[in-house]
Structure formats: structure tokens, C-alpha cells
């Protein structure tokens, strides 16, 4: 029975975690529908609040084909969100930035774990 390679398993875990984080982040965009305003204003607010999620969807699509580039972009996104939202301490860091760092590292490790080892000299 063939077991999946370590790189494949790590990529799948990273993808699932990234999708879960995007859904978690998008959940915060739904608060605009509680505000006052027309439906068009609410939809505009929803789109504006969803921009970080849309950026992460684009990063996920890149990482689907190239885990190394996706991992680097995920880490860059984590750094950008951390600097933009001033999230470098406490529970905010643990819930908003740390998952992205873990996913970025998983994508990078998966890239290197999935590479085939070059055959060594035969002895």
C-alpha cells in the first residue's frame, strides 16, 4: 500500500489551514450587515472589509501550484498584516498572525520535503 509522501501531506494540511483561516477572517467582514445604511453601502463595506481575505485567496491560489512561492507570500502577508494592524503581542498575534506564519512555514517545508532526492554515488 502506497503512503502519501511527506510533502503531499504537508501541502494538504497547509491548504486546509489556509482555507480555515480565510473563512475565519471573512467572518469579521460580516459585521457590516449589522450597521445602518442601504444594501449597496453594506455590500461596499463588505467588499472593503474582505480585501485581506481576497488577498489571501490569491496567495492560496499561487501556493496551490508552487508551495515555495506561496509560503514566502504567506509569510509576507503575515508580516504586512502584523505591521498594518499593529498585531505583535498577545492574543491578537496568536489568532491573526501566528496561523499565517505556521501555514507559510508548512508550505515552505512541504516544497523541500516533496523534492526528490538526487541519487548519490553508487558504492
Tens-digit pLDDT profile for residues 54-92: 999 999 999 999 999 999 999 999 999 888 888 777 888
CA distance 103 to 111: 12
Instruction: Please say if the pLDDT value at position 119 is more than 60.
Output: no
86: burial class by Cβ within 10 Å (0-12, 13-18, 19+)?
Answer: exposed
Contact present, 107 and 70 (Cβ < 8 Å): yes
* pTM of the predicted structure, to 2 decimals: 0.84
- The mean pLDDT of the chain is 88
Residues found in the chain? 123
Cβ-proximal residues to 120 (8 Å cutoff; 6+ apart), any chain: none
pLDDT score, position 35: 86
Among 30-34, 58-62, 90-94, 97-101, whose mean pLDDT is lowest?
90-94
Instruction: Please say if the pLDDT value at position 123 is more than 50.
Output: no
pLDDT score, position 1: 60
Amino acid at each position: 500500500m502506497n503512503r502519501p509522501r511527506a510533502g503531499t501531506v504537508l501541502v494538504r494540511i497547509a491548504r486546509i489551514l489556509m482555507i480555515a483561516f480565510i473563512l475565519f477572517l471573512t467572518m469579521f467582514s460580516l459585521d457590516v450587515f449589522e450597521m445602518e445604511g442601504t444594501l449597496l453601502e453594506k455590500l461596499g463595506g463588505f467588499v472593503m472589509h474582505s480585501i485581506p481575505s481576497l488577498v489571501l485567496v490569491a496567495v492560496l491560489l499561487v501556493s496551490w501550484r508552487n508551495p515555495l512561492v506561496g509560503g514566502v507570500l504567506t509569510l509576507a502577508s503575515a508580516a504586512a498584516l502584523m505591521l498594518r494592524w499593529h498585531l505583535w503581542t498577545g492574543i491578537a498575534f496568536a489568532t491573526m498572525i501566528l496561523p499565517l506564519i505556521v501555514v507559510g512555514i508548512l508550505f515552505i517545508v512541504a516544497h523541500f520535503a516533496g523534492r526528490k532526492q538526487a541519487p548519490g554515488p553508487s558504492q
